[in-house]
Amino acid sequence: MLSAFVRAFRTPDLRRKLLFTISIMVIFRIGSFIPTPGVDYGNVQQCIAAMDAGNNLLGLVNLFSGGALLQLSVFALGIMPYITASIIVQLLRVVIPRFEALHKEGQQGTAKLTQYTRYLTIGLAVLQSTTVITVARNGLLFPECPVPLIPDDRVTTIILMVITMTAGTALIMWLGELITERGIGNGMSLLIFTSIAATFPGAMWSIAGGDNGVANFIIVMIIILLVIALVVFVEQSQRRVPVHYAKRMVGRRMYGGSSTYIPIKINMAGIIPVIFASSLLAIPGLAAQFGDQAAGWVIWTRDYVADPGAPLHIAIYFVLIIFFAYFYTAITFNPEDVADNMKKYGGFIPGIRAGRPTAEYLDYVISRITAPGSLYLALVALIPTITFIILGVGANIPFGGASILIVVGVGLETVKQIESQLQQRHYEGFLR
């Protein structure tokens, strides 16, 4: 493994890509600590120090921003608006035929959809920055902190803050695209990886410094390693559906006669169901914050739905992840399109007729394989949270299922890309 890293840095082209990627990640982290104009940085730090992490309803966005949200920095929104815009555009393919047609046009259509995603990202950034600033002005970002976060709340100051945060999101989007074009790996995924990984040292230090610190630290590390091993095993697993192509004559040449397979991952939905479930569960708690704190529905929502340690919260979270796993898999994988493409090029699954029977068979396989995949997602998302609640080290530290899935998934994909680059140069890669 170490020798492979050395060979990667000895190759000039690969070394240049790796150093460029690392440089962009450093710039991204520096921007997370630059405060937005109009924010009292000292008061923000004071409020963060006195914050109760268990009541943080913006924890998901703060996780993807690497802690920049609570800092109210220029990169406060992080990559979340782009993630949301990408998911919306992908879902709109089912509703808007024009989007589906663009998706099928190849590179030109994909470029058009990417442009729509950028426009939508800017719109969502304006909306989310306005919401974050409003929450900060009203004292709801840190309910137990009496000092003002935005001392000067004039309209011009608020507009300047919205423009700054929106520009920060646009800059992050550009940095991610630069990594994709000139660096190694998917730029947006690596920026999310950087945001989450940056919060790990502080979280581990807080665990080690609490009650039973050494014992809790060892237990947490063992759990993390076990969950990482499970994630690596499942993410690498796939159901291979065999496909044979019949021989056919085109002019004077013979084509086809080959055998291949359709790789179907156990977890085809990725991290999206966890993000959907977390976002949906945050809505009742956010609505309760704006309501009368003495009202019965507010107290019930805060104690039974918004509290991450409440049994009802855990049960709803579990069910939502399973539902969204099936929902998102059904959107992203269309058995009829796959069956039509196979039929067009003379492909067939042994024992299954081409056309509609192939689509029905693929749909059957997807439904069966999504069942263990959705259960795996739900368990990975909940096991760390439940364990941390039992140990009393907090439920929102960045070792939940979402963060582990993202870190391991992005790490695997990046290592595979470096591996392919090394193998192109006749080197032995990381994965043996």
Q: Which amino acid is at 133?
A: I
* pLDDT tens by residue, 253-296: 665 567 788 888 888 887 778 877 877 777 777 777 666 777 77
Nearest of 60, 97, 100 to residue 79 by alpha carbon = 60
Under 8 Å between Cβ of 282 and 274: no
**pTM metric for this prediction:** 0.77
Identify the CATH homologous superfamily for domain 1-199: SecY subunit domain (1.10.3370.10)
In DSSP notation, 95-158 reads H-HHHHHHHHT-HHHHHHHHHHHHHHHHHHHHHHHHHHHHHHHTT-SSTT--S-S-S---HHHH
Rounded Cα distance between 258 and 243, Å, is 9
Q: Provide CATH code, domain 200-397.
A: 1.10.3370.10
Rounded Cα distance between 55 and 395, Å, is 10
Spell out, as residue ranges, where the chain has pLDDT lower than 70. Answer: 1-5, 49-68, 140, 203, 206-213, 247-257, 289-291, 384, 388-389, 391-401, 425-432
Please report, for the chain, the start and end positions of each structural domain, with discontinuous segments joined by +: 1-199, 200-397
Rounded Cα distance between 145 and 53, Å, is 13
Asked if the domains 1-199 and 200-397 are classified in one and the same CATH topology, the answer is yes
Under 8 Å between Cβ of 68 and 78: yes
* pLDDT tens by residue, 185-230: 888 888 888 888 877 777 677 666 666 667 777 877 887 888 888 8
Name the H helices within 183-261.
187-198, 200-208, 213-236
